[in-house]
Structure 1
Amino acid sequence: MADAATTLPSSPLKSSLESGILRLTLNKPERMNALSEAMMAALSSALSKATDDDAVRVIVIDAAPGKVFCAGHDLKEMTVHRADRDRGRAYFQDILGRCSALMQQIVTLPKPVIAGVAGVATAAGCQLVASCDLAIATDRATFCTPGVNIGLFCSTPMVALARNVNRKQAMEMLLTGESIDASTAREFGLINRIVPSEYLDTVVMKYAEMIASKSPLTLKIGKEAFYRQAELSLEDAYRYCADVMVENMLARDAEEGIGAFLEKRAPEWEGR
């Protein structure tokens, strides 16, 4: 994948690659950047390609300028299928399965994913933010899981939310459906940093550039280990991570990195 910027005519996603950073911009502001069938397909395809592209070191997911980062599922698109013979059951199962697969794809991707949030992130949009490895938001961003307000509990967004936020705080968001501001979202653990709107791009790219300068093999090993150990008991987590660290120590990049540190020079990563 060469350094380039592209917008496919049929795609709601803008894509650009520069200096190892793949930027995926949700580009359907007129539809509030909803996770429609087309949006999820475009995101999933871009992430799949990035997985095997050595030119990609870090992925940034943001949105075109506007009030909304992502409004979650496209409810109009979904509601049409209530006219299906099964009242939409098969379609709902399919679309929710696709969304769940997309969120898992972000978590299991061997490269860090950063969300840059400049607007409202609601329902599955909030789930998208929670699924990313890091999240940086403007001081005007808001977050909510409002399904309960329309008779539809945000059960799938709950999975990502509950893995990032304290249980009682997650339940507060899920049961009330109320929006929280960026300051509360940071306090809850949903986002990492809050920045003024005009500095969001600068700060997001600073993080991306810093991470992209690290060994890609080390990032891959570390991200996978982080999520796997979190699901284990304390004893099993230490056993697993000790084994991971042994293998990491034997990698060429670890040998190079430690050598460079001792010799007071910049490391030259080989990704192996």
Structure 2
Amino acid sequence: MNVVELKPEATAGLVKVEKLGPVLRLEMNNPPANVLSIAMMETLKAELDAAREDNSIRAVIIASATPGQLFSAGHDLKELTLHRADEDRGRAFFARTMKLCSELMQTIVHLPVPVLAEVDGLATAAGCQLVASCDLAFCTDTSTFCTPGVNIGLFCSTPMVALSRNVQRKQAMEMLLTGETIDASTAREFGLINRIMPRQYLGQVVMKYADVIASKSPLTVKIGKEAFYRQAEMPLDDAYEYTASVMVENMLARDAEEGMNAFIAKRTPEWTGE
């Protein structure tokens, strides 16, 4: 397979980037489906990698630039199908796509600041995986979700990783085995979504959560997010041993000292990130 390097002009405009104080807003802008093509995934990952190096960013929002339509339809099936004409029937390109997708989802999980999904529309397949990979997820009351790969002979195995870590097993298997679309209320019952609201309030509510998170000690949030995902994969005894050591180190941080002193003195803490 010939690997085509994407030029900057090829990805320009795929993601709208806006800095709102300490909050970074990334809007997927590839209508009508916001497919997670190679270009889209590389662009999103590049923006998230840049956010990691920017100490002024305290939270990230991932949304669609076309609210009310598709949040994301997942992988670009046309792009994938095109490479079936390759000598290897597409194997190398398929592997590249899945590797990049896995890297993108893990970038979200390992980012030192929380990532919030703002969903208004359909999130399907890898688009649903993107929602599940975010730390928090909010949607409109008309949003829908599905992992429909089974309907086209392609089980949603990589979306399953994020889905099964956010949704109870039987609910996750229901989505994966039937491929049926669930509504916003069901998504919240399953544990995929935090809050549901009418469209006119979605951006306001998500920004409120982002601002609240951004007001906390960045060091404390970083420590807590990393510990949350690490302990979730451990046996109970190991999880308690690990988190106890995390809390000891956290208590020795200057921000923890400042926070406790401020609480006792009934004043607002001044965070330094140390």
Q: Structure 2 length normalisation: TM-score?
A: 0.95
Residue 224 (structure 2) aligns with: 222
Contact 2:108 2:115 in 1 (8 A): yes
Residue 263 (structure 1) aligns with: 265
Matches within 5 A, 1:95-244: 95-244=97-246
Residue 27 (structure 1) aligns with: 29
Taking the aligned partners of 1:88 and 1:151, their CA distance within structure 2 comes to 16
Contact 1:11 1:38 in 2 (8 A): no
Sort the Cα spacing of 1:69 and 1:83 in 2 relative to 1 into closer, same or farther, 3 A.
same
1:72 pairs with 2:81 = no
Taking the aligned partners of 1:66 and 1:141, their CA distance within structure 2 comes to 8
Taking the aligned partners of 2:57 and 2:12, their CA distance within structure 1 comes to 23
Q: Which amino acid aligns with 2:86?
A: D
Q: Specify the SS of the correspondent of 1:22.
A: strand
Q: Which 10-residue stretch deviates more, 14-23 or 62-71? A: 62-71
Tell me the CA shift for residue 9 of structure 1.
Answer: 6.7
Tell me the CA shift for residue 77 of structure 1.
Answer: 0.7
Which of 79, 82, 88 is equivalent to 1:86? 88
Taking the aligned partners of 2:214 and 2:128, their CA distance within structure 1 comes to 25
Give the number of aligned pairs: 265
Residue 37 (structure 1) aligns with: 38
Taking the aligned partners of 2:75 and 2:20, their CA distance within structure 1 comes to 30
Taking the aligned partners of 1:215 and 1:68, their CA distance within structure 2 comes to 35
Q: Specify the SS of the correspondent of 1:59.
A: strand
Residue 47 (structure 1) aligns with: 48
Q: Which amino acid aligns with 2:51?
A: A
Tell me the CA shift for residue 29 of structure 1.
Answer: 1.5
Taking the aligned partners of 1:11 and 1:248, their CA distance within structure 2 comes to 40
Q: Specify the SS of the correspondent of 1:29.
A: coil
Contact 1:138 1:194 in 2 (8 A): yes
Taking the aligned partners of 1:94 and 1:67, their CA distance within structure 2 comes to 28
Taking the aligned partners of 2:112 and 2:196, their CA distance within structure 1 comes to 26
Residue 3 (structure 1) aligns with: none
Taking the aligned partners of 2:71 and 2:205, their CA distance within structure 1 comes to 17
Contact 1:138 1:182 in 2 (8 A): yes
Q: Specify the SS of the correspondent of 2:42.
A: helix
Tell me the CA shift for residue 66 of structure 1.
Answer: 3.8
Deviations 1:38-79 (A, max 9, x none): 110110000000001011110000001241000000110111
Contact 2:116 2:136 in 1 (8 A): yes
Paired-residue identity, %: 67
Which of 242, 249, 252 is equivalent to 1:247? 249
Contact 2:23 2:60 in 1 (8 A): yes
Residue 60 (structure 1) aligns with: 61
Gaps of 5+ in 1: 1-6
Q: Which amino acid aligns with 2:92?
A: A
Contact 1:8 1:14 in 2 (8 A): no
Taking the aligned partners of 1:103 and 1:250, their CA distance within structure 2 comes to 31
Runs of 4+ in 1 over 6 A off after TM superposition: none
Contact 2:11 2:39 in 1 (8 A): no
Tell me the CA shift for residue 8 of structure 1.
Answer: 9.3
Tell me the CA shift for residue 250 of structure 1.
Answer: 0.2
Over aligned residue pairs, what C-alpha RMSD do you find?
1.1
Contact 2:11 2:40 in 1 (8 A): no
Q: Which amino acid aligns with 2:229?
A: Y
